[in-house]
Amino acid sequence: MSVHDQRMDRLRHALRRDGLGALLVTDTANVTYLTGFRGDDSWLLVAGARQWFLTDSRYTEQAAAEAPQCELVERKETLVKTLAELFPACGARGLAFEAPSMSYATYVKVADGLDGVELAATESLVEKLREVKDEGEVARIRQAVEVAEAAFRDVRRQLAPGQSEREVATRLDHAMRVRGAAKASFESIVAARERSSLPHARATDSTIGRGDAVLVDWGAQRDLYCSDATRMLFLAPPDRRWREIYDTVLAAQQAAIDAVRPGAPLSEVDAAARDHIAKAGYGDRFGHGLGHGVGLRVHERPSLNKRGEGALAEGMVVTIEPGIYLPGWGGVRIEDLVCVRRDGAEALSSLPKTLDAAIVE
């Protein structure tokens, strides 16, 4: 049985558990996860023991090769009309759909095309299956990490005063492509000096000067899977305040990594880092969650934050990324990817993160 057959079986079990007869999968990443198809603009209909792959002439050859376990249906007009013509063959009374990935306009068209068929909105049905990675997925994420880290080393060696944030970000994105990435996982963040207090800063034409602190948050997508990491760089030995905050964030991250284990409540792992930062007097300066899942998308379930519900499970791949941000002064974030194993956290990231390693001279 292929990995995609196994995933489809898990989905069918979830559908039976929730009393759903048929599911229309429209989220691109979910279609890829379940079938292996790497294109877009295609839907998957799952009902009973059958699955139909709805696409157009641009993708029929590709779909036949990448998703051979599916019954291929080439649309002649719209996907909605093709679905309406196909649905009676699936034998289901109602149809569940993925609410987050279907616009209201498309919902109305589907409802009109399936007149009399009860539609049921679902959320995170497939995403919950994607939370736990198999070893093949972990290997792909590790490869994405290796590409991203190699590119970072290249850019770090070339970093010098006078370069702009945008120049460094562009060089980093190019280095990832040269090293084998399909693209960056997201828009690379390079933020110097006081701009490092912006958790999602966009790189600008601002020039990096001697002695500046620079926050770099980047990731690579390779073979469909993503990586995500953050490192600080200092273009001269930092002063005592930078050292204090850096050491606080690093210790908070380690406390959270030490708390990672199967069954650990998401909120408690978040608290391991948050409490350490609060005790250092910066509790109100760590506003975002501790981390998130990474896989086919750079932000996936689960979410590690103080309101997080649920627990870690073996095989989950998550970021651990505490930070301290002081508006008008600067910020520090340190981020690594870990895989939840039976005996704790397996680090997928390998770049050094001691303060000495962050100094570029």
Summarised one tens digit per residue, pLDDT across range 113-135 is 998 899 999 999 999 999 999 99
Q: If you average pLDDT over residues 291-316, what whole number do you get? A: 96
* CATH 3.40.350.10 boundaries in the chain: 3-129
* CATH 3.90.230.10 boundaries in the chain: 135-358
Q: If you average pLDDT over residues 302-319, what whole number do you get? A: 96
* 336 backbone dihedrals φ, ψ, rounded to 5°: -135, 155
Summarised one tens digit per residue, pLDDT across range 31-62 is 999 999 999 999 999 999 999 999 999 999 99
Whole-prediction pTM: 0.95
Give CA 126 to chain center in angstroms: 15
Amino acid making up residue 123: E
How far apart (Å, rounded) are the C-alpha atoms in residues 193 and 332? 10
Buried b (16+ CB within 10 A) or exposed e, 146-169: bbbbbbbebbbeebeeebbbebbb
Confidence of residue 76 (pLDDT cuts 50, 70, 90): confident
Q: Give the pLDDT score at 347.
A: 98
Bridge partner list, 337? 319
Q: Give the pLDDT score at 116.
A: 87
Q: If you average pLDDT over residues 318-341, what whole number do you get? A: 98
End-to-end CA distance of the chain: 54
- Homologous superfamily of 3-129 in CATH? Creatinase/prolidase N-terminal domain (3.40.350.10)
Tokens (6 digits) for 356 = 């000495």
Annotation: CATH topology of 135-358: Creatine Amidinohydrolase (3.90.230)
Q: How many CB atoms lie within 10 A of CB 351?
A: 15
* 168 backbone dihedrals φ, ψ, rounded to 5°: -65, -45
Tokens (6 digits) for 268 = 């408690």
How far apart (Å, rounded) are the C-alpha atoms in residues 254 and 257? 5
In 198-308, where does DSSP find H-type helix?
240-259, 266-279
Q: Give the pLDDT score at 308.
A: 85
